[in-house]
Amino acid sequence: MAEHSHAFNVAGRTWTIHFSLATSHGLQKVGVDAVNAADLENLFALYNDRRKMVKAIWVCVERKASELGVDKDQFFDDFDGATFQVAFDAMVEAFIRFQPADVRGAMRQAVAEFYRTIKAASDAYIAATDAIDYDAIVKEQVELALAGIRKIAAPAEPVVA
């Protein structure tokens, strides 16, 4: 079977996420319920909630970071979109490895379907935004702004008494 990574790199260090009951309890404290295979959807919900995702990732690496003398700010200083993605993937894979072997294949299929759905939604969004005539919208907004400026700058009409 193919090896599924549960590690990621930040600032030249490799961080490996190992899921345990202690990890699960820590995640509960930050509002993420993740113990049973059915809780996989709770991890998926983190995908669009970066604040909660950061807390969850930190729970997963905090012990190792403490051993290395790395605080939360140092750890997240080097995060970018790609790093969030691999850290999220590592956390999900660690959670899958925490489950009984007979459900892991189905869980990985659910993860693959999750990403197919996200990609389809992204592709649809891009197609919709590509169809928008941004130049016309900008031109219209500039014209409206100029009309407003002209109205403000126009000489006042004389007041007839």
* Contact in structure between 26 and 19 (CB atoms under 8 Å): no
pLDDT above 50: residue 3: no
Where in the sequence is the domain holding 16, given as residue range(s)?
7-153
- Residue 32 to residue 47: CA distance in whole angstroms: 12
* Contact in structure between 40 and 108 (CB atoms under 8 Å): no
Query: At 100, is the pLDDT very low, low, confident or very high (cuts 50, 70, 90)?
Result: very high
Mean of per-residue pLDDT scores for the chain: 85
Q: Is residue 160 part of a domain?
A: no
Sign of CA dihedral 146, 151, 152, 154: positive
pLDDT in tens, 35-94: 888 888 888 888 889 889 989 999 999 998 999 998 999 888 878 888 889 999 999 999
Amino acid type, 149: I
Specify the number of domains making up the chain: 1
Q: Is residue 47 part of a domain?
A: yes
The whole model's pTM is what?
0.73
